[in-house]
């Protein structure tokens, strides 16, 4: 291993809820999914309570708070409603993301430069409650410096542009930005995570970044689970990440 600590895997379970919501059934059962995902080696369970409740529901957050044994990473927008929910539920971690109703998925990092004062005020009560606050940001040095000023201990680097670029110089350039941002943040004391669009192939270069602490991955794992089952899909991602660090 070329790193002191093992790379953590956060499994995002939103799309298990997406399948349930598509038909308004009681299945697939998120509690059972979490049990299997944790047994298969997830280090934390990530769920995004969106303003439009398109997948995860308020009740899921309540129920899973009792049933998750690793840790809950609640993804949410910086709204008063979400702040109140987080302060009541007290997840181990909160990842603050931008949200637009019409987007298919989180489409960009937070505007940490334009919203610095607002985000600082928003994060303060969460930090005071002992919640590990993470800001989802573009891999951009100025954004990391803003995250530091805001007082967030953790950043999650948005890997979406890297993940959607075709292999070649464009993707390499995106990777270099992520590597540089991770080094910049780590050197200044930030815990550096990453996520969005990672799959079983493009995860390798991101997992190989020695200072990377945790990757949050959902879509690729849930999609593979259709063929292999969710436990095997998590184990395969864990194995790919471990291989990249050897």
Orientation of helix 116-128 relative to helix 141-150, angle to 10°: 50
> In the structure encoding, which two tokens stand for residue 112, read together?
């940490």
Query: In whole angstroms, what is the distance from residue 209 CA to residue 168 CA?
Result: 19
Cβ 230 to ligand PXP shortest distance, Å: 14
Work out whether 195 is an interface residue with ligand PXP (CB under 6 A): yes
- Alpha-carbon distances of 52 from 73, 77, 196, 236, rounded to whole Å: 19, 11, 20, 32
Q: Are 9 and 245 in contact (CB under 8 A)?
A: no
Work out whether 48 is an interface residue with ligand PXP (CB under 6 A): yes
For ligand PXP, which is the closer residue by CB, 149 or 219? 219
Work out whether 138 is an interface residue with ligand PXP (CB under 6 A): no
Q: What is the pattern of x (binds ligand PXP, CB under 6 A) and - over residues 218-237?
A: xxx-----------------
Segment contacting ligand PXP by CB under 6 A, of 83-91, 144-152, 171-179, 216-224: 216-224
Cβ 28 to ligand PXP shortest distance, Å: 16
Find, among 103, 124, 117, the residue nearest to 48 by Cα.
Answer: 103
Among 136, 137, 144, 162, binds ligand PXP (CB under 6 A): 136
Query: In whole angstroms, what is the distance from residue 191 CA to residue 122 CA?
Result: 19
Work out whether 70 is an interface residue with ligand PXP (CB under 6 A): no
Cβ 242 to ligand PXP shortest distance, Å: 18
Work out whether 60 is an interface residue with ligand PXP (CB under 6 A): no
Work out whether 55 is an interface residue with ligand PXP (CB under 6 A): no
- What does DSSP assign to residue 109? -
For ligand PXP, which is the closer residue by CB, 12 or 83? 12
Among 16, 157, 198, 241, binds ligand PXP (CB under 6 A): 198
Tell me the Ramachandran region of residue 191: left when phi exceeds 0, alpha when psi lies from -120 to 50, beta otherwise. Answer: beta
Segment contacting ligand PXP by CB under 6 A, of 118-126, 174-182, 211-219, 231-239: 211-219
User: In the chain, what are the helix, strand and coil shares in percent, each to the nearest 5?
Assistant: 50, 15, 35
Query: In whole angstroms, what is the distance from residue 172 CA to residue 225 CA?
Result: 29
Q: Are 112 and 138 in contact (CB under 8 A)?
A: no
| Positions that interact with ligand PXP (CB under 6 A) | 12, 14, 48, 75, 95, 97, 105-106, 136, 156, 195-198, 216-220
């Amino acid at each position: 291993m070329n790193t002191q600590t093992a790379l953590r895997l956060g499994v995002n379970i939103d799309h298990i809820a997406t399948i349930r919501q598509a038909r308004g059934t009681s299945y697939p059962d998120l509690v059972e999914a979490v049990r299997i995902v944790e047994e298969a080696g997830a280090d934390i369970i990530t769920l995004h309570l969106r303003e439009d409740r398109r997948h995860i529901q308020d009740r899921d957050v309540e129920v899973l708070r009792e049933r998750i044994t690793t840790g809950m990473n609640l993804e949410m927008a910086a709204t008063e409603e979400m702040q109140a929910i987080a302060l009541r539920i007290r997840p181990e971690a909160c990842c603050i993301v931008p949200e637009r109703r019409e987007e298919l998925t989180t489409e960009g990092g937070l505007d940490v430069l334009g919203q610095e004062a607002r985000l600082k005020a928003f994060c303060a009560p969460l930090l005071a409650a002992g919640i590990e606050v993470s800001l989802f940001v573009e891999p951009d040095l100025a954004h990391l410096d803003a995250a530091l000023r805001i007082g967030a201990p953790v950043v999650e680097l948005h890997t979406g542009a890297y993940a959607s670029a075709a292999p070649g110089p464009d993707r390499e350039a995106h990777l270099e930005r992520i590597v540089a941002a991770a080094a910049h943040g780590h050197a200044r004391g930030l815990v550096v995570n990453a996520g969005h669009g990672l799959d079983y192939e493009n995860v390798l270069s991101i997992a190989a970044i020695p200072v990377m602490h945790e990757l949050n991955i959902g879509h690729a794992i849930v999609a593979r689970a259709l063929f292999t089952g969710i436990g095997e899909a998590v184990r395969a991602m864990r194995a790919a990440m471990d291989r990249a660090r050897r």
